[in-house]
Amino acid sequence: MNGTTEEMCRIYLRVIEHLYYKVDKRSLHFDDQVNVDVSTTVVQTSYSTDCYGVVMDSLCRSIYSKDTTDRIKKRALLCNVYHLALHGYWYEARDLIMMSHLQESIQHFDVPTQVLYNRAIVQLGLCAFRKGLIIDAHNSLQAIQSSGKAKQLLAQGLMSKKFSDRTPEQEKQRQIPLHMHLNLELLECVYLTCAMLLEIPNMASQVFDSRKHMISKSFRYLLRVSEQSPLVGPPESMREHVVAAATAMKTGDWQACRDYMLDVKVWKLFLDSERIKKMLTRKIQEESLRTYIFTYSSVYDSLSLSTLCEMFELPPDIISRILNKMMITEELQASWDESRQSVTLHHTEPTRLQSLALQLADKVGSLLENNERIMDSRYGGYWFKKEWQG
């Protein structure tokens, strides 16, 4: 083909934009084994020889080496990240976008490129969830979901006239085609599930701490609304299923939590839905175990390994790994009794009365600091010392 380098790169990008969102079942990657060559700027993938991946990889390499305009190169990179994450290559996609440092300058690009960046990050979060990487999935989806504007940030819905300076016709032109849309209910379900798996054990570990770290404000809000509701019936919507599952996890009832979560219908949208359900069940068992230990450790002197295995239907090595990690991170003050195959608990945590007293002392100290700050701003600082001196 005859043409300048810039024209060829534009043609390559147009082909990439027609391919990057399409799923090729022959190139799906469900295993945890990946091959990443971090010595180069282009990530080596293990695509099959008869799928879109070969075309995507070849066109992206050509643009990376020949393009002189920053916009075409960045859009090709984002399409490559989206395509890799869509087919299960999470580590390759993550390394590619981290090496590009695009997250530091994306706000200076045009709106279509920012939308493509949001789509790539969201697809990266879905890929992390399919791999069982709950923390990474939550971090990838948090910025989009916590904003409350996922539909607008992904260009799948119109902005409100109050927040947009464009005409309705201009707003419609920037929307992506319907066949490229991401399922917003699936995104919210994955985000809330990750938030539940992270937040419920966090809440159980710091139940009397007034300075506890909050992981997901939107998930805490859903729980608070549910707790304040005078009448709670059986769950119907996706959000109600997640709230009901979180309520069951609080007490360590992993079977009820699992049943509520697996009843959600959006899991069928994953191509490997059965594997996703097995992974989710295992995560629920593990986090329910941690929540149970945080909640009820104060009433036990020791915990038998065989009893925990029977309660949570987990193998001994998994339970041992979880307990060892909790001891190393000082979340659990305990030690192993090898002779009895049990964990001896050391009750060093404060009692309920002591915890409430510490909480009251923190609030009184904060109130005192706020009053002094108000007096300083009103009277010029340290006004009461002058009266003492006088």
| Same domain membership, residue 85 and residue 16 | yes
Please report the pLDDT score of residue 48 as a whole number: 43
Question: Would you say residue 384 lies in a domain?
Answer: yes
Question: Would you say residue 295 lies in a domain?
Answer: yes
Min mean pLDDT across 3-7, 131-135, 226-230, 377-381 is at 377-381
| Same domain membership, residue 141 and residue 11 | yes
| Same domain membership, residue 340 and residue 228 | no
Whether residue 84 contacts residue 92, with contact meaning beta carbons closer than 8 Å, is answered with yes
Residue 367 burial (10 A CB sphere; 0-12, 13-18, 19+): exposed
| Same domain membership, residue 118 and residue 223 | no
Spatial distance between the Cα atoms of 62 and 285, rounded to a whole number of angstroms = 47
Count of domains forming the chain = 4
Question: Can you read off the two tokens belonging to residue 258?
Answer: 């699992």
| Same domain membership, residue 343 and residue 362 | no
How do residues 151-208 score in pLDDT, each as one tens digit? 888 888 776 655 555 666 766 777 888 888 999 999 999 999 999 999 999 888 876 5
Whether residue 65 contacts residue 102, with contact meaning beta carbons closer than 8 Å, is answered with no
| Same domain membership, residue 58 and residue 99 | yes
Spatial distance between the Cα atoms of 165 and 171, rounded to a whole number of angstroms = 9
H or E stretch at 167: none
Q: What is the average pLDDT across 371-379?
A: 79
| Same domain membership, residue 129 and residue 18 | yes
28 compared with 267, residue with greater pLDDT: 267
Band of residue 225 on the pLDDT scale cut at 50, 70, 90? confident
Spatial distance between the Cα atoms of 141 and 150, rounded to a whole number of angstroms = 10
Question: Would you say residue 167 lies in a domain?
Answer: no
24 compared with 94, residue with greater pLDDT: 94
Question: Would you say residue 192 lies in a domain?
Answer: no
Spatial distance between the Cα atoms of 44 and 61, rounded to a whole number of angstroms = 11
Mean pLDDT, all residues of the chain: 82
pTM value?
A: 0.81
367 compared with 298, residue with greater pLDDT: 367
Residue 2: pLDDT over 70: no
| Same domain membership, residue 288 and residue 318 | no
CATH number at residue 320: 1.10.10.10
Min mean pLDDT across 26-35, 130-139, 273-282, 345-354 is at 26-35
| Same domain membership, residue 129 and residue 26 | yes
Spatial distance between the Cα atoms of 219 and 201, rounded to a whole number of angstroms = 13
H or E stretch at 143: helix 134-146
Residue 46: pLDDT over 80: no
Bridge partners of 335, per DSSP, are: 344
Spatial distance between the Cα atoms of 369 and 360, rounded to a whole number of angstroms = 14
Whether residue 51 contacts residue 86, with contact meaning beta carbons closer than 8 Å, is answered with no
Q: What is the average pLDDT across 209-221?
A: 76
Spatial distance between the Cα atoms of 174 and 156, rounded to a whole number of angstroms = 9
Query: What does DSSP assign to residue 105?
Result: T
Residue 42: pLDDT over 50: no
| Same domain membership, residue 361 and residue 309 | no
For tokens 């989806």, name the residue: 141
Q: Which domain holds residue 256?
A: 216-299
Q: What is the average pLDDT across 34-51?
A: 38
Residue 25: pLDDT over 80: no
Question: Would you say residue 117 lies in a domain?
Answer: yes
Residue that finishes a domain, picked among 152, 167, 192: 152
Residue 282: pLDDT over 60: yes
Of 237, 258, 234, 239, the closest CA to residue 248 belongs to: 258
| Same domain membership, residue 231 and residue 101 | no
| Same domain membership, residue 341 and residue 233 | no
Please report the pLDDT score of residue 174 as a whole number: 77
Question: Can you read off the two tokens belonging to residue 31?
Answer: 């295993």
Please report the pLDDT score of residue 50 as a whole number: 44
Q: How many CB atoms lie within 10 A of CB 68?
A: 9
H or E stretch at 79: helix 70-86
Question: Would you say residue 381 lies in a domain?
Answer: yes
Whether residue 50 contacts residue 114, with contact meaning beta carbons closer than 8 Å, is answered with no
Longest CA pairwise span in the chain (Å) = 92
44 compared with 104, residue with greater pLDDT: 104
Terminal alpha carbon distance of the chain = 92
Residue that finishes a domain, picked among 136, 152, 168: 152
Question: Would you say residue 210 lies in a domain?
Answer: no
Residue 2 zone, left/alpha/beta (φ > 0; ψ -120 to 50; rest): beta
323 compared with 380, residue with greater pLDDT: 323
How do residues 49-101 score in pLDDT, each as one tens digit? 345 678 888 888 888 888 888 888 999 999 999 999 998 889 999 999 998 88
Question: Would you say residue 169 lies in a domain?
Answer: no
